[in-house]
Structure 1
Amino acid sequence: MRSFNYLPYKPGTGQGGFRGDAERWPGGGCEGYMRRLVQELMPLVTATFNTATDPARVAFGGGSFAGVTALYAAMHYPHVFGAVLAESPSLWIAEGRFIGDLWAHRGALPERLFMGCGTKEYSATRDHVRDEIDALLLHYYKEAAHAVQEAGLRGPQRFYLQVEEDAGHHELAWSWRLTGALSFLLAPWWDE
């Protein structure tokens, strides 16, 4: 149910059908997932562990489908999460529809957003090379970056896109970028 919980709509197959395996996967439960997280889980964690509730001290992140969830949280929950990490978000879903959502966004955004990706998002995780799909995915990341910058996340203190040469869509690439991502996202926490 990962695709259902993490995506705002069904994933589809990607432009040109390169993800035919995802055609029947469910989607559309992202908002319900976020409501459960924010209204049920976070208050329980705060009550149990006395964690921060000030958005300036709360971060949220994810990779792949959960990277889409992170961008969704950036648009719909900036009053909860002041820092958002989106690693290799699956922007191919619904043939790139989420890019349109980013462009259409007119509301608030978090104070800081880090997005990471590789130049071989598709090919580095498959047994065959598809340069055209790698190029399409990289185009989506750059388009998403442009959209959030135009929506207000301008300047090196608010938004950072890290494009890693030859990196793929997997946890090893994400872990390689994590230290830099956290240094960027959490820098204001150390300055207080």
Structure 2
Amino acid sequence: MTMHTERARYAAAPPRVETRGNGAATPRVHGFLATRVSPEGIAALPAALASGNLDYPLVDRCPAPGDGGPEMVHATFLFIDEQAEQPAQAVILSANALVDHENLAASEFEQASERLWSITLLVPADWVASYRITVHRGDGPAPWHQAADRRAIRLAADAGGPDPLNPQVSTTMNGAAVSVFRGPKAAATPHLAPAVPAAGHRGPSLGGWGAADARTQGRHPRLSHHLLQDENCGRERSVWIYQPPGSDSGAQQEPTPLVVVHDGATWVKHLSFAESLDNAINAKALEPVHVMFVDSTSIPLRSTELPHAAGTTRSLAQQFLPWARNGFNVRADPASTLVTGSSFGGLAAILAVLRYPELFGRAVAQSPSLWYTDLSTQLKSLAPHVELEIQAGYFETRIAESCAQTLDALHGSNSAQRIQYQQVSGGHDWAWWAPELLSALARSFPATGR
């Protein structure tokens, strides 16, 4: 089965997702560093890394497959132990979607020398993943071995921090800093702005976030914060409006498409997506667009309101979309109105084009939680003008399988011709959601004359 990024319209049968047991199998290669580097070379690695003369993480390309399969690489991650007085007893790599709670040894580093620990994974050459490194010192088993259930194990394995050796830092939903690995064949991200982790955040990168606030005002000159009463859900909701370059000076005269983005606080506060939009528009990769970032506020509210059409989707259709169209210079036709989100937000994006096709004519559903509800019957009746793109990570097993099952059920239907599916070499991960959303917007609304 093909693991590299693909995009296809499903007139033909969709690809199958291989079952990998209880979660994604961690592709660890034992003893790899010792087979490639001499003891003297291993001893010299810390100095080579400190000098900046060595690309990191270490990547060794595998021979090109002869069967048409994906190109693979060996990715080696290192940890240099600087605390001689209390040396590390165990080190674990918390790579997105690859910590198997039933086989933790597959994510643990090996001690290559007195100060140096290493782990090597065999991954697709276009793998994109966020990760953290957690170190256990002192007596007794590591916390991730003491935890009793899957979530507690994942939290314990993720409690450390970004890789000190890797300058590529991003963030997750709650603003926690993470390191990012991008394989040599991963798509370039020239317009993506650097993420801004939450200052002083402690603890795991997994989980949600607290109530949104207006402190993002002033960070971007054309990003405005609005605190509105959500009449449908019966609570206040933060909404941010991004206006494209030229709108503040009067240069932008023609109405633009409108993009609606779920989980707005993360995109605005931590992912610097307004700057990314500026970059893509100024580079003529994306036509000027307005973007409405709609906050989901908290994990409990998000889980209640996003997966059901009567929740946030109804609020968008009945209140927030009319509000944006009345107050900003945007087009009011469905072909110019795109809704997007990830996870439950991806499911909500699909619900929007199913329930309100007269309002939303395009959707980009990233890692949609189709395991939560079967939408295959409704998707067979997808309105003929609606365009839907579904993206899923190969390593997010449950979601990838549910997406494949849904597409399989649509095989041969008229709506299948208007549904694109992109399988990404990654997990349930903001590390690829952000760049792939920017690319999807450029495909939906390409700049004229580029």
| CA contact 1:67–1:90 (8 Å) conserved in 2 | yes
Structure 1 148/84 Cα, relative in aligned 2: closer, same or farther at 3 Å? farther
User: What SS does the corresponding residue of 1:60 show, helix, strand or coil?
Assistant: strand
Structure 1 31/70 Cα, relative in aligned 2: closer, same or farther at 3 Å? same
**Cα distance between partner residues in 2 of 1:143 and 1:51:** 36
Structure 1 106/153 Cα, relative in aligned 2: closer, same or farther at 3 Å? closer
Question: How far off its partner does 1:138 sit?
Answer: 2.0
Alpha-carbon displacement from aligned partner over 1:121-180 (angstroms, at most 9, x marks no partner): 1xxxxxxxxxxxx2x43221112223455543333xx32111012x01021121132233
Q: What residue number does 1:180 align with?
A: 439
Match of 1:160 among 417, 420, 423: 420
Q: Is 1:71 matched with 2:350?
A: yes
Q: What residue number does 2:390 align with?
A: 115
| CA contact 1:84–1:185 (8 Å) conserved in 2 | no
**Cα distance between partner residues in 1 of 2:337 and 2:442:** 14
| CA contact 2:368–2:399 (8 Å) conserved in 1 | no
**Cα distance between partner residues in 1 of 2:347 and 2:391:** 12
Question: How far off its partner does 1:90 sit?
Answer: 1.4
User: What SS does the corresponding residue of 2:434 show, helix, strand or coil?
Assistant: helix
Which is further off, 111-120 or 146-155? Answer: 146-155
Structure 1 177/60 Cα, relative in aligned 2: closer, same or farther at 3 Å? same
**Cα distance between partner residues in 2 of 1:114 and 1:78:** 15
| CA contact 2:353–2:363 (8 Å) conserved in 1 | yes
User: What SS does the corresponding residue of 2:339 show, helix, strand or coil?
Assistant: strand
Q: What residue number does 2:303 align with?
A: 3
**Cα distance between partner residues in 1 of 2:340 and 2:362:** 8
Any unmatched runs of 5+ in structure 1?
9-29, 122-133
Which is further off, 52-61 or 146-155? Answer: 146-155
| CA contact 1:62–1:86 (8 Å) conserved in 2 | yes
Normalised TM-score (structure 1): 0.67
**CA-atom RMSD in angstroms:** 2.3
Report the structure number with the largest CA radius of gyration. Answer: 2
Q: Is 1:142 matched with 2:407?
A: no
User: Whose strand fraction is larger, Structure 1's or Structure 2's?
Assistant: 2
Alpha-carbon displacement from aligned partner over 1:68-97 (angstroms, at most 9, x marks no partner): 11111121111111110100011222xxxx
**Cα distance between partner residues in 1 of 2:420 and 2:442:** 11
**Cα distance between partner residues in 2 of 1:148 and 1:80:** 23
Q: Which amino acid aligns with 2:388?
A: L
Structure 1 168/106 Cα, relative in aligned 2: closer, same or farther at 3 Å? closer
User: What SS does the corresponding residue of 2:416 show, helix, strand or coil?
Assistant: coil
| CA contact 1:103–1:151 (8 Å) conserved in 2 | no
| CA contact 2:380–2:410 (8 Å) conserved in 1 | no
User: What SS does the corresponding residue of 1:86 show, helix, strand or coil?
Assistant: strand
Q: What residue number does 1:170 align with?
A: 429
Question: How far off its partner does 1:106 sit?
Answer: 5.0
Any unmatched runs of 5+ in structure 2?
1-300
| CA contact 2:380–2:414 (8 Å) conserved in 1 | no
Structure 1 105/55 Cα, relative in aligned 2: closer, same or farther at 3 Å? same
**Cα distance between partner residues in 2 of 1:90 and 1:76:** 17
Aligned-pair identity in percent equals 27
User: What SS does the corresponding residue of 1:92 show, helix, strand or coil?
Assistant: coil
User: Whose helix fraction is larger, Structure 1's or Structure 2's?
Assistant: 1
Q: Which amino acid aligns with 1:163?
A: Q
Q: Which amino acid aligns with 1:43?
A: P
User: What SS does the corresponding residue of 1:154 show, helix, strand or coil?
Assistant: helix
Question: How far off its partner does 1:34 sit?
Answer: 1.8
Q: How many aligned positions are there?
A: 148
| CA contact 2:392–2:399 (8 Å) conserved in 1 | no
Q: Which amino acid aligns with 1:177?
A: E
Q: What residue number does 2:376 align with?
A: 102
